[in-house]
Amino acid sequence: MDAFWRIVKLMLRDRTRVALALVFVFISAGGLGAGLLTILPLLELILSDEPRSTLVDLALAHNAEGKWPAIPAPLIEILPTTPFGGVATLMIGLAILTIIGATCNFLHLYLSMTLVTNTVARLRLAAFRSVVRMPLSSVVARGPAEFVAKIVRDAAELKSGLLALTSKAVAHFSKGVAAFAAALWIEWRLTIVAVVVAPVLGVLLRKLGKRIRRGTKASLEGQQDLLRIAGETLQGLRAVKANTGERNALHRFHRVNREVVNQELKVRNARSLATPAVETLAVFVICGLALIAAHEIIQGRLEFNRFFGALAALGIAGGSFRPLTGLYNEIQAASAPSRRLMEVIDEPRETARDLKRPVLPRHHQSIEFDHVRLVYPGADEPALRDVSLKIAHGERVAIVGPNGSGKTTLVSLLPRLLVPGQGRVLIDGVDIQSVNLRALRRQIGVVTQDTVLFRTSIADNIAFGAENATRERLIEAARQAHADEFINRIPGGYDASLAEQGASLSGGQRQRLAIARAILRDPSILILDEATSQIDSESEQQINAALSEFCRHRTALIIAHRLSTVRNADRIVVMDQGEVVDEGTHHELLDRCPLYRRLNQTQLVDSE
């Protein structure tokens, strides 16, 4: 339960709402107790076998017996002088107390649900922020689905426990104590009001239930959008991080998160109204029955049991205490999602120490992998074994090798998506572990085989991570990637909304958008990981020409199976089993490297 109470402490930081909610719940309970202690005992005295005929007589007798609190003389002077007038006055007073209590109860539930809804929304955002900023290796090792479930499902389960504590448990306990104390004071017996009220309450609850169901449905649809956005971002976390798009992803999640909050606050109104409405209706029914009974007793046609008030108080106390066991179980059940959520929020962030790290100047000299070694968690063999490689600024280097040879792992070290267990990665002689991570990634453009697109406009997809990009720069980047032509054929053009994961586009079109995204960033280093694998030969020639122009004065690392792409490189690096086995030009490697000759015959695709 430590995590749960930690979240409760977080919620209690909203001192104003907490204080007001407690004030309203105590007023509501106090009004209930006052009504049972004063109105009902007086009603019993009026309708007893030896009645004091007026409220004036009752007030004088009350003061004469020395009971507390004493009734002021000016108040006694304005009391009605007829029995029925006195009863009517008492019922009016009880109705006023009921309205005050119901209003306070509504305000307490309203504030409590607002408090819980906002707290859970903040926790969802904090958990999502933590996952987006966690090291990629941690997310990959545990799987995105685990984090999505914690962010969405566990937060919903936690909300039930918080509501049980802040609204239901406090209200039921305070009212139960007040009613029970009143019953002891009066001397109990008599109730069964529920039998009279039940049919009317059923109709009322059914109508409120429809409103709650409609609001809940809209809320669940919003949560579905939350799950989709979280899934998109975490599944494409490599691209999000490489494009420094964490802030953009957080903004999209936060926007939908607020929409979910708005829907849940609509449900709050119906839920807040249900309990006070039921109690108000029940008390008014009792008042009506008591009025009828009093009239009949005054006329001598009906005897009235003096114990009515005490038994009614006990019935209210029992009804208030009865749900506490179930509420306690809800609070206990909330401990598991609380712990799981706080574990995510407390995860270390990859940029935790970045504030004090210097910004790396724009790359202009060299990139060097210095004896790097990396072993994935749970793996028996290293993915990289003592790899050393130096690349000059402006050089275009192709990296080839069999599947699993470590090509993608090697280039993933450059934007610090992965961190080597041994060795260093240097840019212009500076160890990238010692520089600001976001500034480092702003210098790197990454295009992967698995293009990550989001359910938003084409323009927003191209501009993802490029916060200050203008419309003109965006369109120019699309032109360079040969995407402008097909974009303009789509209804809506750059403002057209894509289907989830870009399913409304072909594979080649998706990759051109990814290339346009990389071009827009104006990187000093470009990483192409099978970037042209899903593009036809004609498009490949156009994109290769565009990339050749774009890569001028930039360093490019290219993983490719297209022979034309490999041939156009300044140098080809051959990898196998996590090692660099040879490097050189296409013809040099054909002459001396058996592995490259085999790759040339089996894997490298001739676009012609």
* Stretch among 128-132, 228-232, 270-274, 522-526 having the lowest mean pLDDT: 270-274
Show the DSSP H helices in 353-419 as ranges.
Answer: 407-412
Q: Do the Cβ atoms of 94 and 284 come closer than 8 Å?
A: no
Beta bridge partners of 366: 392
- How wide is the angle at C-alpha 86 spanned by C-alphas 80 and 91, nearest 5°? 130
Could you please report the per-residue DSSP string of 406-457? SHHHHHHTTTTSS--SEEEEEETTEEGGGS-HHHHHHTEEEEESS----SSB
pLDDT at 276 over 80: no
**What is the helix (H) or strand (E) element at residue 390, kind and residue range?**
strand 384-392
Q: Give the up-direction half-sphere exposure of residue 65: CA atoms within 13 A in the CB hemisphere.
A: 9
Domains contained in the chain, CATH given: 2-345 (1.20.1560), 455-522 (no CATH)
**Which residues fall within 8 angstroms of residue 373, CB to CB, at 6 or more apart?**
382, 384, 385, 386, 387, 420, 421, 422, 423
Neighbours of 405 (CB within 10 A): 23
Nearest CA to 280 out of 99, 529, 83 is that of 99
148 band by pLDDT with thresholds 50, 70 and 90 = confident
Contact assessment for residue 127 and residue 48, using Cβ atoms and an 8 Å cutoff:
no
Q: What is the pLDDT of residue 7?
A: 86
Closest CA to 35 of 286, 276, 277: 286
Average pLDDT, the chain: 78
Q: In this predicted model, what pLDDT tens digit does every residue of 195-210 receive, in sequence order?
A: 444 455 555 555 655 5
pLDDT band at 78 (very low <50, low <70, confident <90, very high): confident
345-384 tens-digit pLDDT: 888 887 766 767 888 999 999 999 999 999 987 788 899 9
CB neighbour list of residue 470: distance below 8 Å, 6 or more residues apart? none
DSSP per residue, 74-127: HHHHTS-SSHHHHHHHHHHHHHHHHHHHHHHHHHHHHHHHHHHHHHHHHHHHHH
Nearest to residue 126, comparing CAs of 23, 267, 7, 210?
Answer: 7
Q: pLDDT tens, 516-560?
A: 888 888 899 999 887 766 666 666 676 677 777 788 888 999 998
pLDDT at 193: 45
| Number of Cβ atoms within 10 Å of the Cβ of 292 | 11
Query: What are the tens digits of pLDDT across the range 485-504?
Result: 889 999 999 999 888 778 77
- Quick check: 558 and 530 in contact, CB under 8 A? no
Measured in whole angstroms, the distance separating CA 585 from the mean position of its chain's CA atoms is 52
DSSP class of 299: T
pTM for the full predicted model: 0.69
